[in-house]
Structure 1
Amino acid sequence: MADEMVLRAQRFVNTTYGNGATLGISKLDENGQTSWTVMYALTRALQYEMGITSLSDSFGPTTLAKIGEKYGKIDETTVPSANFCRIIQSALYCKGYDGGDIDGKYNDRVKSAVAKLHQDMGVSGTYPGSALWPKTTKGLFNMDAYVPVGNGSATIASIQRWLNGKYILRKDFYAIPCDGHHSRDVAKSMLFAIQYELGMADGVANGVFGPGTKSGIQSHTLSTGSSGVWVQLFSAGMVLNQRPVAFTTSFSADLAAATSAFQAFAALPVTGKGDFSTWASLLVSYGDQDRPGQACDGVTKITDARAQALKAQGIVYVGRYLTNPIPDDPDLPEKAIQPGELKTIADNGLRCFPIYQTFGRDASGFNYPAGRAAGQAAVNAALDHGFKSGTRIFFAVDFDALDYQVTDNVVPHFKGIQDAITDDGGRFAIGVYGPRNVCTRVGEAGHSTASFVSDMSSGFSGNFGYALPADWAYDQIVTRTVGSGAGSINIDIDIASGRDKGQGSFDAPRAALPDVRYDGGFLNALHDDLSKYMRSIGFADDGGTGADARLFTHTECFETIMSFDQQTTELSNKYKMRKALIQTSAYWEMRHYDLIDQGVDHAVALYHLQGIGTKKDSSTGIGQIGGEVGIRAWNHCINKGFVTGTVTDPTKDADIWVMWQKVNKDNAFTMRTVPLLHLWGVDGKPGGQNPPTGETTLRSMRLDYTEREVFQVLRRYQGWGDQAEADATKRMAIYQIFEKYNAIMRQLAG
């Protein structure tokens, strides 16, 4: 909704500063809406009017110091120019205060607005009157709110104002928002406050939970009857961690009871006192890192000696990874569960909780199709290792996901995971590993039942200022090396709540058997699983209508691919290639065949048969294979001894036309060619249209390809670039669905 005075502020900046050119920015959109872009422009304008030559979006130390040096404070007697005053007036309007008529006059309306700003900040006792001071000017030129917004808590707002009012004159303390919400800035201000009360000087206090802060807190244990500023800080920490207490100066029986409840919730010793461990848990995500934990996770194989070392430390639950996406990784050779390891864990009286993590180091790896693939891949891997039904799998979000990324990427990803687990029959429960905000939001969306919290990453924005999730099962707090000699192992120590107990016994692991013929009794289930997934990403069963219409229905594609099951099985065994790779590429390409493809095919036929036009080749047929590409794949595989045949020329029209007709009309030939394209791709597609740096060579084709290798094979079938990457992500879910049922066939046959 447009605000007329904000609109006037935007026009003032554009008119006065050459549509932003004078300030080194673009012209502001005149839409009447406050934004960081507007505040940055006003900050630059303020710097310009003060004579600062190097303009910046940041209201940093130079800007702050200049205000103090040039004016001391800003009021009607010191404001240097009309435009300077107009900037102040514009900023007031952008913050929701009455800045007058943006007329360059520091009049009564401006004075009243400044006084109200200071009151809302909680600093009116420190800065009485109507003058702006350097630090409050800095607070004016940002997007922080100084009144509760949204569902902001009035109690938290009162804490924020108290912190501002008490510490604003300290050198490194700046006004924090008073919006009623906990945040990174509020959490850091609490650490500053603790350090100031411990007597740390300006320049020593740094807002970091370091040795001096820890030592000081240890001498400030609170109990029933305690009073004063330390109780205020402790009760503030309780409020900020969503505990139902009053912000108070008195450690009452009610506060003691609430403290006991928090301690029980966080798996701390229940003392009812404000002791060090409790202070630490309130102030920083990892809390007291000297705590013993009953759980751990790591990337090292659990041997008998290591298991005994863990037990000696009081460890009961061990988190291990279902897969290692990087094959033969020299740095993490034992990241994934190793053969025989689960038996060793069980034999030594330990329990294992599985973790699923592939790439996931930024938001781009998280979306609904990737979640669908991850869910089924984790199920397949869990069954391979021998995890029983009922096991909870923790899916990792191992990056500092900002809140909008949680909304746009992570939550849809977990919806995909949930759908995959549900379609599999709900054999496994879903857990989430990640920062506090990620865990809380995924749980609240109904996509997980327990959290494994990466609290050791205390600097993550998703941890700083967020409470421990209500459904936490494991809380990762510190890395330690335990044991010695053969028993030495480096692990992450996790606090266990008891919500998840892992597994203490396991089925026999599934061997990496060759694929077998498909059992017709499972055809309907496979058909329906594929249909459901394709519909979830926008492919109607009937092929759709309009611009996105496809020529083949889901059932036609499915029946075509499965009609070649015997041939596909034989080729799979011959090339040591999972059937799912062949089935996925063929099914995906046939599902995409549309009127545009048909028209291009017609143009190719006209070129070769009648000499009309210039279109000599196209991706065609159910596998969407071009004549040149087909030749290169066949030539490569002939030369490698995978197939027999005659090498032809991929640059010769006649040879392209012969290959093109085969892959256009002969479905059996196409289904034989699909795996050859995969073998060609594994070897880097020599002679093909590679990316600028060329395709890398993968490990030779094998049955135990990792997910990263499968992804690469599927991506290379299509080509390279952003579209190929995005489509390969979608195809991974199809691969996992085919592999789910192929694995069932292998087990039945074995």
Structure 2
Amino acid sequence: MADEMVRRAQRFINAQYGNGATLGIAKLEENGQTSWTVMYALTRALQYEMGIDTLSNSFGPGTLAALQEKYGKLDETTVPSAIFCRIIQSALYCKGYDGGEIDGKYNSRVKASVVQLHQNMGVEKVYPGSSLWPKVVKGLFNMDAYVTVNNGSETIRSIQQWLNGRYLLRKDYYAIPCDGHHSRDVAKSMVLAIQYELGMADGVANGVFGPGTQNGLKSHTLSTGASGVWVQLFSAAMVLNKRPVSFSTAFTFSHADAVKEFQSFLKLPVTGQGDFQTWSSLLVSYGDQSRKGEACDGVTKITPARAQTLKDAGIKYIGRYLYNSGTGLPEKEIQPGELATIKEHGLRCFPIYQTWARSVDYYSPRQGVLDCLNAAAKAEDHGFRTGTRIYFAVDYDAVDQEVTSHVLPYFRSIREKMREIGNPFEIGIYGPRNVCSRVSLQGYADASFVSDMSSGFSGNLGYAMPENWAFDQIVTKTMGSGDGRIEIDNNIASGRDTGQGDFRPAPSEKLDIGFNLGYWDSLRAEAVSFMESAMESDKDKLMYSRERCLEEIINQDQAITSMARRLRMRKALIQTTTYWEFCHYNNIDHWGAAAVWLYHKGVIPDWAKDFPPVESKIRDSSTGIGKTFGHTGIVAWNNAIRSGLTQGETLDTAKDADIFTMWDRLRTDNPFSARTVAWVQLWCADGKKGDQSGHEETKMRRPALDYTDDEKFEILRRYQGYDGEAERHARKRMNLYAIFEKYARVIRES
């Protein structure tokens, strides 16, 4: 919303300084909206009027010193000119205060606003009256708010005001916002406050959580009954970390209970006291870096000697990378035999996926799709089992706006694509606290690997630990000696993710990969021609052309390829069944779908209004690109879930609602329908228990990369049924299988 007085301030700058040319800036847009651009212009104008030669957007030490030296404080007696005063008045308006008429007069309206500004900052006792002191002027010429904004906490605001009021006269302490939100500036001010209370002199206290600060805190353990400024600082730190305590001078039993909960959450010793480790975790993201973690991650191969070093140090979980993208680190990606070594030493591994991921430009929905598919393929290649959680990296200091514009769409794309290919792996996130929390809050990741070691990241400073943290990266260290020497990042483990301790052996043959569209014309010519000659049904009753059906099979190539890799079978087996069935989808199937809808919903669906009258009701029918019954889909998925091959809730074939749920998804969700074909084939191999015809089969070997022709034939036959027609069609399908497999083999071997 435009503010007319802000617009007047923008006009003043443009008119007074030649559309910004005098200040070395572009003309301000006169839109009546405060922004950093406007505040930078006002800062430069102030510097110009003070005679500073080199103008800057920053209200830095030079500007502050010049202000102090020239005027000491600003009021009606010291403001050097009307133009200077108009700059102050403009800044007040941009800050939300009454600046008078921007007429160059430090009048009663300006004075009243300055008094209000002091109160909002919490410095009315430090700076009584209506004069503007240099540090207050500095706070005036930025975008910090001194009233709660965006649902800010009044408790946090009271802490911010208290800090300003107590420490603003110290040399290196500057006014922090009083907006009710924790932030980078607030986090640094807390460390400065600790240092001041420890007795550090100006120039020594620097806001860095160094050895002197740490040593000092070790003698300030707090427990029930303690009182005073140290309790205020500790309770403030608890509030800023979203702990349910009051900001108080007294350490009560309720404080002790909240401390125990916080300690338990961060896997600290549960004492209920404000001890050094708890202070550390409240003040800096990495906490006490001397803590021994049960987890680590690194870019070095885990050899037997290194595995023993880690085990002897109490490490249980090791993070290793699925992929190496030109990093110059030859052992970054998991090496052959490495996971077997980890298993032999009783250790467990959690996989991390990262290529570049070090700038905002990397993140996009398209990149999310590519990374999801590549990570899943790499995890399968390395032998990670279904359900393993992969941590996708955000390895840079993503600011909040970039999280919104780039990182969230990237992770949304990963989530959608992972679902589309059947959720073979869980999704985690590696990154700063804010990024992890925001991605997780959207449901795009269910566990966080937090890069707390990067304490200076804006995404860590001022943000509480994500609720779903699994690993907390706190320090780089070297362990062991000789062949067992290894550099790792030491991580605290919450127990939320224990990685994997058992891995699938390397596949006997190469796994299939995605279809290369360069082969489309050749595949289309062969597959379509074959189906035209092989089909026995009335072609004028078919719903789709053979080419259209083949296009849909290739559209679902990612889902089909993922299932084939996941089950270590040939994708041609899934393609053959799906294409054959879809080509046979006809008017009777479509009419049957309307009858199923009538049975379950009691009405004819809109998409069937032009059909011949549908009078009978049918509980179930073959549907979707795999022409699968809802009953068959349920028993096949239940079989896969109970075998531990996928996750989900089992459905009941006796319940109409469950039949319709499965049937309708098979009808409308082509990636799901394609995946279901693979689960049905696996169920067929397992003996077809629960088949609605009552015709169960003997168990056979599940689909595998080295399936014999006899096994392929049997699976193709079982999918269709058990009679002579099913056998006759299976023989034809074997020829179709040969076509699909020919192209899959060329692509995977190229």
TM-score, normalising length from structure 1? 0.69
Q: Residue type matched to 1:496 in 2?
A: A
- Alpha-carbon distance in structure 1 between the residues aligned to 2:111 and 2:401: 37
- Alpha-carbon distance in structure 1 between the residues aligned to 2:509 and 2:276: 51
Q: Does residue 101 of structure 2 align to residue 90 of structure 1?
A: no
- Alpha-carbon distance in structure 2 between the residues aligned to 1:490 and 1:318: 12
Question: Cα–Cα, structure 1 residues 743 and 69, in superposed 2: closer, same or farther, change >3 Å?
Answer: farther
Q: State the match for 1:661 in structure 2.
A: none
Deviation track 1:306-345 (CA, whole Å, cap 9, x = no partner) reads 111111111000111111112xx6x411111111111111
Q: State the match for 1:412 in structure 2.
A: 409
Q: State the match for 2:212 in structure 1.
A: 212
Q: Is the 8 A contact 1:156 1:182 kept in 2?
A: yes
- Alpha-carbon distance in structure 2 between the residues aligned to 1:743 and 1:302: 38
- Alpha-carbon distance in structure 1 between the residues aligned to 2:245 and 2:311: 39
Question: Cα–Cα, structure 1 residues 11 and 352, in superposed 2: closer, same or farther, change >3 Å?
Answer: same
Q: Is the 8 A contact 2:90 2:99 kept in 1?
A: yes
Q: Residue type matched to 2:106 in 1?
A: Y
Where in structure 2 are the equivalents of 1:114-263 lying within 5 Å?
114-263=114-263
SS at match of 2:19: helix
Cα deviation for residue 424 of structure 1 reads 1.4
Q: Is the 8 A contact 1:383 1:510 kept in 2?
A: no
SS at match of 1:301: coil
Where in structure 2 are the equivalents of 1:617-656 lying within 5 Å?
none
Q: Is the 8 A contact 2:75 2:132 kept in 1?
A: yes
- Alpha-carbon distance in structure 2 between the residues aligned to 1:375 and 1:185: 36
Q: Is the 8 A contact 1:46 1:84 kept in 2?
A: yes
Q: Is the 8 A contact 1:514 1:746 kept in 2?
A: no
SS at match of 1:79: coil
- Alpha-carbon distance in structure 2 between the residues aligned to 1:240 and 1:387: 39
Q: Is the 8 A contact 1:383 1:509 kept in 2?
A: no
Cα deviation for residue 65 of structure 1 reads 1.2
Question: Cα–Cα, structure 1 residues 743 and 351, in superposed 2: closer, same or farther, change >3 Å?
Answer: farther
SS at match of 1:466: coil
Question: Cα–Cα, structure 1 residues 561 and 62, in superposed 2: closer, same or farther, change >3 Å?
Answer: same
Q: Does residue 26 of structure 2 align to residue 29 of structure 1?
A: no
Q: State the match for 1:8 in structure 2.
A: 8
- Alpha-carbon distance in structure 1 between the residues aligned to 2:743 and 2:223: 60
Q: State the match for 2:400 in structure 1.
A: 403
- Which of 419, 423, 440 is the aligned partner of 1:422? 419
Q: Is the 8 A contact 2:513 2:747 kept in 1?
A: no
Cα deviation for residue 510 of structure 1 reads 2.9
SS at match of 1:56: coil
Deviation track 1:82-124 (CA, whole Å, cap 9, x = no partner) reads 1111111100000000111111111110000000000000000
Where in structure 2 are the equivalents of 1:358-397 lying within 5 Å?
358-397=355-394
Larger radius of gyration, structure 1 or 2? Answer: 2
- Alpha-carbon distance in structure 1 between the residues aligned to 2:101 and 2:66: 26
Q: State the match for 1:485 in structure 2.
A: 482
Cα deviation for residue 744 of structure 1 reads 9.0
Q: Residue type matched to 1:466 in 2?
A: Y
- Alpha-carbon distance in structure 2 between the residues aligned to 1:487 and 1:180: 50
Q: Residue type matched to 1:332 in 2?
A: L
Identity of aligned residues (%): 67
Question: Cα–Cα, structure 1 residues 747 and 257, in superposed 2: closer, same or farther, change >3 Å?
Answer: farther
Q: Is the 8 A contact 1:371 1:417 kept in 2?
A: yes
Q: Residue type matched to 1:504 in 2?
A: G
SS at match of 1:18: coil
Which runs of no fewer than 5 residues in structure 1 stay unpaired? Answer: 528-552, 566-578, 581-739
Figure out how many residues of one structure are paired with residues of the other and give that number.
Answer: 542
Where in structure 2 are the equivalents of 1:553-568 lying within 5 Å?
559=551
Cα deviation for residue 61 of structure 1 reads 1.3
SS at match of 2:427: strand
- Alpha-carbon distance in structure 1 between the residues aligned to 2:302 and 2:365: 34
Q: Is the 8 A contact 2:59 2:138 kept in 1?
A: yes
Cα deviation for residue 365 of structure 1 reads 0.8
Question: Cα–Cα, structure 1 residues 745 and 428, in superposed 2: closer, same or farther, change >3 Å?
Answer: farther
Q: Is the 8 A contact 1:373 1:420 kept in 2?
A: no
Q: State the match for 1:55 in structure 2.
A: 55
Deviation track 1:571-606 (CA, whole Å, cap 9, x = no partner) reads xxxxxxxx99xxxxxxxxxxxxxxxxxxxxxxxxxx
Q: State the match for 1:593 in structure 2.
A: none
Cα deviation for residue 561 of structure 1 reads 11
Question: Cα–Cα, structure 1 residues 177 and 294, in superposed 2: closer, same or farther, change >3 Å?
Answer: same
- Alpha-carbon distance in structure 2 between the residues aligned to 1:144 and 1:439: 25
Q: Residue type matched to 1:92 in 2?
A: L
Cα deviation for residue 20 of structure 1 reads 1.0
Question: Cα–Cα, structure 1 residues 25 and 554, in superposed 2: closer, same or farther, change >3 Å?
Answer: farther
Cα deviation for residue 368 of structure 1 reads 0.5
Cα deviation for residue 24 of structure 1 reads 1.4
- Alpha-carbon distance in structure 1 between the residues aligned to 2:424 and 2:243: 36
Q: Residue type matched to 1:104 in 2?
A: G
412-421 vs 262-271, which moves further: 412-421
Question: Cα–Cα, structure 1 residues 488 and 79, in superposed 2: closer, same or farther, change >3 Å?
Answer: same
Q: Residue type matched to 1:21 in 2?
A: A
Q: Residue type matched to 2:332 in 1?
A: K
Deviation track 1:619-639 (CA, whole Å, cap 9, x = no partner) reads xxxxxxxxxxxxxxxxxxxxx
Q: Does residue 286 of structure 2 align to residue 273 of structure 1?
A: no
CA RMSD of aligned residues (A): 2.8
Q: Residue type matched to 2:226 in 1?
A: S
Q: Is the 8 A contact 1:349 1:504 kept in 2?
A: yes
Q: Residue type matched to 2:453 in 1?
A: M
- Alpha-carbon distance in structure 2 between the residues aligned to 1:293 and 1:334: 23
Q: State the match for 2:460 in structure 1.
A: 463
- Alpha-carbon distance in structure 2 between the residues aligned to 1:747 and 1:349: 38
Question: Cα–Cα, structure 1 residues 515 and 311, in superposed 2: closer, same or farther, change >3 Å?
Answer: closer
Q: Does residue 34 of structure 2 align to residue 45 of structure 1?
A: no
SS at match of 2:335: coil
Cα deviation for residue 509 of structure 1 reads 2.0
Q: State the match for 2:535 in structure 1.
A: none
Q: Is the 8 A contact 2:437 2:467 kept in 1?
A: yes
Q: Is the 8 A contact 1:421 1:428 kept in 2?
A: yes
- Alpha-carbon distance in structure 1 between the residues aligned to 2:743 and 2:488: 33
Q: Is the 8 A contact 1:40 1:58 kept in 2?
A: yes
- Alpha-carbon distance in structure 2 between the residues aligned to 1:249 and 1:215: 23
Q: Is the 8 A contact 2:98 2:109 kept in 1?
A: yes
- Which of 439, 451, 457 is the aligned partner of 2:448? 451
Q: Residue type matched to 1:9 in 2?
A: A
TM-score, normalising length from structure 2? 0.69
SS at match of 1:455: coil
- Alpha-carbon distance in structure 2 between the residues aligned to 1:74 and 1:742: 84
